[in-house]
Amino acid sequence: MRLFITGGAGFVGANYARWVMSHSDDDMVVYDALTYAGNRDNLRDLEGDRRLVFVKGDVCDREGVAEAMAGCDAVVHFAAESHVDRSIVSPDAFVRTNCGGVNVVCDTARRLELEKVVCVSTDEVYGSIEAGSFTEADRLAPSSPYSASKAGADLIALAYRKTFGLPVAVTRSSNNFGPYQHPEKVIPLFTTNLLDGLAVPLYGDGQNVRDWCHVEDNCAAIDMVLRQGLPGEVYNIGGGNELANRDLAARLVELCGQDESLIRPVADRLGHDRRYSVDTAKIQRLGWRPVWELDEALAATVSWYRDNRWWWEPLKKALP
Ligand code: NAD
């Protein structure tokens, strides 16, 4: 199978390209605009493999997408503006890329009659939940411009199924972490600060809860949805590792050999969702289970950032 992987130079997309390379004989076109979040270094170890072709392009560019997608069998659509804080400062790019991009990708896949499209989304589309976990049947109630644009993208993708019969499925994953995550995101930001003995900014009272999923577990789940998921269906993905941000910070402090005095409370994020939690029974029925255990996965991740300063130091210098 020849895959069209949008956003494959970003964090999850690059890990997914690596996953496919090591778990299948498939080849792929990685299509990515190389925004501030896209980075050819994320694919450096795959460069030179003839199964991967990289095309620089914007998912909102119909001609560029059509040209690059021609000859592919299936799409895994990761390309997005992905940082909630940036969406609060300037939402326009989020609506453009996340809603406009999915429309172009689905419409092009429909015209080219591709076999399968997977649109990669987030648990944030459900909004906050005090107790229990959201199932795929729950209503969407996004809080930030980021999550609202992703909810819009999900609905656009699913409309292509209902209206045109496009064989598209949607995945909604909880927070990912692992190698090659941009250092603006909380785990790499805290880890790289702590490795340098710097303070880490903790939003509000630190009691906001996230469910952490190692990126390889998410990639395995996305791949399972690509190959076995039913068109028109939504699949929640989660690591089953709920943790308050304060506790996450404390674990990273310990793993980096630092002192908790480096955890500094700062003003809360606007519209900050209190807790995310998804019910993953549906994808588990396909046979997926997360294999990473949280403490082991956090330790491996901290080690990766400790060993790969060449990768994150330039990105951190470029942060606004
Ligand atoms: P990322 O910001 O690391 O990567 C996004 C990639 O998309 C970058 O390579 C960027 O260059 C590319 N891109 C952005 N705009 C583009 C455009 N207009 N045209 C083409 N390419 C463009 O994001 P990520 O964390 O890898 O997230 C990937 C996907 O997974 C997103 O759709 C995101 O919503 C979803 N997701 C991520 C997480 C997470 O914790 N990282 C959790 C759930 C869902």
Q: Give which of 259, 241, 226, 244 is closest to 301, Cα–Cα.
A: 241
For residue 49, is it within any domain? yes
pLDDT in tens, 272-309: 999 999 999 999 999 999 999 999 999 999 999 999 99
Q: Is the CB of 95 under 6 A from ligand 1?
A: no
Same domain, 99 and 233: yes
Q: Is the CB of 178 under 6 A from ligand 1?
A: no
Give the model's confidence band at 320: pLDDT under 50 very low, under 70 low, under 90 confident, else very high: confident
- Which CATH number does the domain housing residue 251 bear? 3.90.25.10
Same domain, 301 and 187: yes
Same domain, 12 and 113: yes
Q: Is the CB of 127 under 6 A from ligand 1?
A: no
Q: Closest Cα to atom 17, ligand 1: which residue? A: 58
For residue 12, is it within any domain? yes
Give the model's confidence band at 152: pLDDT under 50 very low, under 70 low, under 90 confident, else very high: very high
Pocket test for ligand 1, best of 12, 103, 222 (most atoms within 8 A of CB): 12
Q: Is the CB of 182 under 6 A from ligand 1?
A: yes
For residue 258, is it within any domain? yes
How far, in Å, is the centroid of ligand 1 from the Cα of 261? 33
Reported in sequence order, the residue ranges of 150-250 that DSSP labels E, i.e. its strands, are: 168-173, 175-177, 200-203, 209-214, 234-237, 242-244
- Nearest-angstrom CA–CA distance, 307 and 169: 37
CB contact set of 70 (below 8 Å; sequence gap of 6+) = 112
Tell me which residue range forms the domain holding 267. Answer: 177-210+241-273+293-317
Q: pTM score, two decimals?
A: 0.98
- Which CATH number does the domain housing residue 231 bear? 3.40.50.720
Q: Give which of 80, 277, 304, 36 is closest to 178, Cα–Cα.
A: 304
Q: Are the C-beta atoms of 217 and 54 separated by less than 8 Å? A: no
DSSP letter string, 60-77: T-HHHHHHHHTT-SEEEE
- Report how many domains make up the chain: 2
